[in-house]
Structure formats: structure tokens, C-alpha cells
Amino acid sequence: MSAPPPPEARAVHVLGTRHSPGPALPDHACDTHVHVFGPADRHPYAADRGYLPPDALPADLRQLHRHLGITRAVLVQPSPYGTDNTRLLDALSALGDSARGVAVIDPGADARELRAMDRAGVRAVRVNLGARASNDLEHARERVQATARVIADLGWHLDLHLDTAALTAFEDLLPRLPVPVVLDHFAGVKPAAGDTGASADGLARTCRLLDTGRVWVKLSAPYRAAPGGSYDDLAEVLTALVGTRADRALWGSDWPHTGGSPATRHPDRVEPFLPVDDGLSLTRLHARLDTPHLRQVLVDNPAELYGW
């Protein structure tokens, strides 16, 4: 019998980035944080966009997930589209029941429009606060509360992108909202960002929120949380979060890994994607979680939250 091909031969390239084979995953594994972009002539970007991405189409996503052994995905509305969810909804139609969506809406969104999005597979609304929330926390709180009220009757949840400063200000609020809350990208915790005290406090705060059962966290985009870009650099954070409530942890790749920063991005200059190896990232996560916890994070928890 001939030897299996070396890993390099079994890697694939998607949008120019090499992806390792990755580990064997349980059936129905889900990637809870991906984006699709373009083509711009069919799906134009918002005039006030912060950056301009290359195309990343549903077919590219399918190719990557087929290679990694992922069969379910959650598409998150990217900020360059603003509140125009057409690209998101078209992708959900193309991917069928294997996909769910997280939309971005206006505060006064029409109820009929929201019900149509629900039928299309949308299960949440994202509020992207980022680092800007700290500049006007009262307005940010009002926005979060108003959005939660709008989606409560649909059975959706709220997806928040924020930093640890905003999380501090929201700790009292989030468990009292009428909808579950998902915190993106390790809840903004960055253990090697220079302020280890703020990181430790943010991690402890996130664990307290998880313990309420009303809040979930995405173990997503490790390259945004740690300078080394690896789950190996986030071992203590992973242990704390999964050890607190393994039934409230989700995994997301953050594909296709938008690059740049608010300081370097330009709305009319295409910003290349970062060359993140998602197969290698999954391998490192797999090494940090035992089999039962891996199944919870990849299969059971997303099935419960997104309705599979």
C-alpha cells in the first residue's frame, strides 16, 4: 500500500492563501463567524464604508469548508455593506439550510423585513461597537437596548463586537436584555496587548457573564487577540472560558480575514486579506480541547443557538 501524500500535497489554496488539512472534525461542525464580499458591481458597498475588500464569494467559502470538514456556517454581515443585507441574504439562499445569518439593521427596521430575513435564515443582529463604544458609552448602551427590543419577538440573539472597556460598562446590562448575547472574538480580551491588568479584568468579567447563561463567547480570530496569532498564545484564556461554561463557547474562523486597521484602511483602495491558515488554526484549537469540549464548541452549541 502506498504512503498517504504529505500534508503539503493535501493543502489547498483559497483566495491565494494556503490552508493546511486540519484535524478530523465531528459531523456537523460549524464555523460561526465568516463573511462574504462582492462582486461590487452586483453588491455595491456603502458610500461611508471604512475599507474596500477583495471578493470572497460563497463558492470560495464552500471550497474552504469542504477542505476543512465543516458543513455548517454562520455568515456575519460585514461593515462595508452597512445595513444593506442583500449580499448576506443572497449568500444564505445559495448555501441553503447549511447556513445561518447575522444581519445589521437600522434602529427602526420594518417588522415585515425582519420576518422575511428570519425566513431566509437570519438568527441574530450584530452591533459593531469596536473601540468606538468607549467614546460614548451611554449612546452605545441605548443602541444595544433598542436593538434587543426590536429582535426579541423573533427569538434572535444579539451579536456584539466590542472592546474590554465597553464590556466593563455593559456587564450589568447584558444579562438583563430580553435576548441572548454573543460576544465576538474572545470578548475583546487581548492578553498580550500590553495592559495585562485590563486583560485579566476583561477575562474575569467575561467568565462572570458566561456564568449567567445569558451570554456566549466566540473563540474566534485568535490572530486579532494575540500577537502570535495562535490558540497556543491564548491557552490560559481558552482554559478559563471553556472551563467556566463550555456550553456557551462557539468557534469561528473570521474568514476571509480582513486586513488593515482603521488607521491604515482607505475606502477606495482594496485592502488585501490576511494570509491566515485556517487548517493550522483548527489543529491548534483541537490540541487545546478534549473531544467532548470540541464537540460542544463545534457542533452542539451552534446547533442550539442558531437552530439546526
- Grouping H, G, I as helix, E, B as strand and the rest as coil, residue 285 is helix
Assign residue 186 a region (left: φ > 0; alpha: ψ between -120 and 50; beta: otherwise): left
Between CA 251 and CA 79 the distance in angstroms is 20
- CA-atom Rg of the chain in angstroms: 18
Mean pLDDT for the stretch of residues 227-254: 94
For 101, phi then psi, to 5°, come to -130, 155
Note the pLDDT tens digit of each residue in 65-76.
Answer: 999 999 999 999
Note the pLDDT tens digit of each residue in 179-200.
Answer: 999 999 999 998 765 555 667 8
Q: How long a stretch of residues is the chain?
A: 308
Mean pLDDT for the stretch of residues 228-248: 93
Amino acid identity of 261?
Answer: S
Mean pLDDT (the chain, rounded): 92
Helix ranges (DSSP H) in the chain: 7-10, 58-68, 86-95, 111-120, 137-151, 164-170, 196-211, 222-225, 235-244, 278-288, 291-295, 301-306
Percent of the chain with pLDDT over 70: 93
* Residue 38 pLDDT grade (very low, low, confident, very high; cuts 50, 70, 90): very high
Return the biggest CA–CA distance within the chain.
67
* Residue 3 pLDDT grade (very low, low, confident, very high; cuts 50, 70, 90): very low
Q: What does CATH list as the number for 20-306?
A: 3.20.20.140
Note the pLDDT tens digit of each residue in 111-138.
Answer: 999 999 999 999 999 999 865 555 678 8
Note the pLDDT tens digit of each residue in 135-157.
Answer: 678 888 999 999 999 999 999 99
Reply yes or no on whether the pLDDT at 161 is more than 90: yes
